Amino acid sequence: MHEHVQKLLDLQKVDLEVSSLTKDLDQLPEEQQRRKRRLDQLERAADEAAAALQQAEVESRSLDTAARDADAQIKKLNERLNVVRNNAEYQATLFEIESVRKDRDVAQEEGLKLLERMEELKVAAESAQAAYDEEKKIYDEFLAEAESLRAERADEVAAARARRDAAADGIPPDLLREYEGLYKTRDHLAVAPVEDAYCQGCYNKITMNDVARLMGKSAVVRCGSCQRILYMAR
Ligand SMILES: [Zn+2]
């Protein structure tokens, strides 16, 4: 086997170890983002539900105030009935009392409806908040687990990366870059064996000329179909 191809094959073994050690670690940021988006959604829903309830409470207070003011006004108008000087004034005051009373009744009716609505809003706000709290707990647990997984794995990963650096030593930079690109894009198989003139990376047949070059061991040979770097299997 060509000296550099042998080195790449050894490097690939170490890279596979690194990949298997970091596989679940590498997925953590994406998983964290996914969970965070969900959590943010629930938080927004809880905030909106709380705001709707608060808005209804403000409206309810203002309807209460309107009804109380109307009652006070009616009381005042009733007192005026005792001091009016003629029938026309008396009738006008009665008319005014009736009008204020109607307004008060409307405010009271709306207030009652709003109270019912507030019960629903309260239930909705509580359940939205509970859903958020539950998800937040799960999210925090996830973060803690992720952190302890990273910490546990840190030494092993560091050791594997050191072995990786040692294994990459002495490989020409261009070839190393080519290998690294293939490792990423060819499903962690950049250096593939050839069996019976078939590339074991893509299962296409390689040319007799390439077989001869592989036997000669003096050139780095690539598969014409998948571009993987090839070596002769036993
Ligand atoms: Zn191939």
pLDDT of residue 15: 97
- The alpha carbon of 199 and the centre of ligand 1 are apart by a number of angstroms equal to 5
Tell me: pLDDT of 234 over 70: no
- The alpha carbon of 18 and the centre of ligand 1 are apart by a number of angstroms equal to 24
pLDDT of residue 67: 96
User: 58-117, pLDDT tens digit by residue?
Assistant: 999 999 999 999 999 999 999 999 998 899 999 999 999 999 999 999 999 999 999 999
- The alpha carbon of 186 and the centre of ligand 1 are apart by a number of angstroms equal to 10
- The alpha carbon of 165 and the centre of ligand 1 are apart by a number of angstroms equal to 27
Out of 1.10.287.1490, 2.30.30.30, 1.10.10.10, 3.40.50.10470, the CATH code matching 24-169 is 1.10.287.1490
Query: In whole angstroms, what is the distance from residue 88 CA to residue 28 CA?
Result: 84
Spell out the domain ranges in the chain. 24-169, 172-234
Task: Name the residues around ion ligand 1, CB cutoff 5 A.
Answer: 199, 201-202, 223, 225-226
- The alpha carbon of 212 and the centre of ligand 1 are apart by a number of angstroms equal to 16
Residues pairing with 225 in the sheet: none
Query: In whole angstroms, what is the distance from residue 224 CA to residue 41 CA?
Result: 50
pLDDT of residue 10: 97
User: 41-54, pLDDT tens digit by residue?
Assistant: 999 999 999 999 99
Tell me: pLDDT of 39 over 90: yes
pLDDT of residue 73: 97
User: 136-182, pLDDT tens digit by residue?
Assistant: 999 999 999 999 999 999 999 999 999 999 999 999 999 999 999 99
Q: How many CA atoms lie within 13 A of 170 on its CB side?
A: 11
- The alpha carbon of 216 and the centre of ligand 1 are apart by a number of angstroms equal to 19
- The alpha carbon of 188 and the centre of ligand 1 are apart by a number of angstroms equal to 13
User: 123-136, pLDDT tens digit by residue?
Assistant: 999 999 999 999 99
Confidence category of residue 229, pLDDT binned at 50, 70, 90:
very high
The two structure tokens encoding residue 61: 């207070």
Is this model's pTM higher than 0.75 or not? no
CB atoms within 10 A of CB 49: 21
Cβ contact 183:15 at 8 Å: yes
- The alpha carbon of 71 and the centre of ligand 1 are apart by a number of angstroms equal to 91
pLDDT of residue 93: 95
Query: In whole angstroms, what is the distance from residue 166 CA to residue 218 CA?
Result: 24
